Amino acid sequence: MKIVLASQSPRRKELLERMGISEFEVIPAKGEEIATRALGPDRLVEELSRRKCAEVSVLRPDALVIAADTVVAVNNKILGKPHSEAEADRMLRALSGRPHMVYTGVTVFFGGETVTESEFTSVRFRALTDADIIRYIATGEPMDKAGAYGIQGYGCTLVEGISGDYYNVMGLPVCRLARLLARFGVDPLALAAEKERER
């Protein structure tokens, strides 16, 4: 079975490999990530992941296509990727010392069937000082991350606690994805075991 990841995110690629899926093609969806903000964050990420999956499945209709989209939300207010250091500063101040939610929508397509689900994880930041925010922004890391931070990078120093799937915060809820893949006859653990036997 051909597998396609409809994302250019190096983190999603890494997580798919960690799951035991080592052979797949990367075809990033090129469409704009635009959807109505009237949707709640869970429905928004589901819609965006469906759009990405639909776009790429047209190019590879014979493949199993995986697409995902992640947003950060504080009190249901969605924080996307910052477009400037000033916007990153505002986002980090909004997250400082309080919990927020990270939502990821995942869509899998194969054989004419499409399945979409979403996962959420609660993350709490410690109280950030002005210096913390200035130094973190100076690393450059916030600029391509939803919510202006990456938990797998320098942003780990900001996170005080987490409840839920850690990998969801990285952009791919691997446990939920494994269950979705099982519906299409793909078992990542079986693939990993087979790869180990071949070594």
Residues annotated catalytic, as ranges: 69
CA distances from 81 to 56, 72, 125 (A): 23, 9, 18
**Cα 107 from Cα 104, distance rounded (Å):** 10
DSSP 8-state code for residue 158: G
Pairing of strands 64-74, 3-5: parallel
DSSP annotation string for 95-137? HTTSEEEEEEEEEEEETTEEEEEEEEEEEEEPPPPHHHHHHHH
Q: What is the Cα 173 distance to its own chain's centre?
A: 7
* Contacts for 5 with CB less than 8 Å, ≥ 6 apart: 12, 13, 16, 24, 25, 26, 27, 66, 67
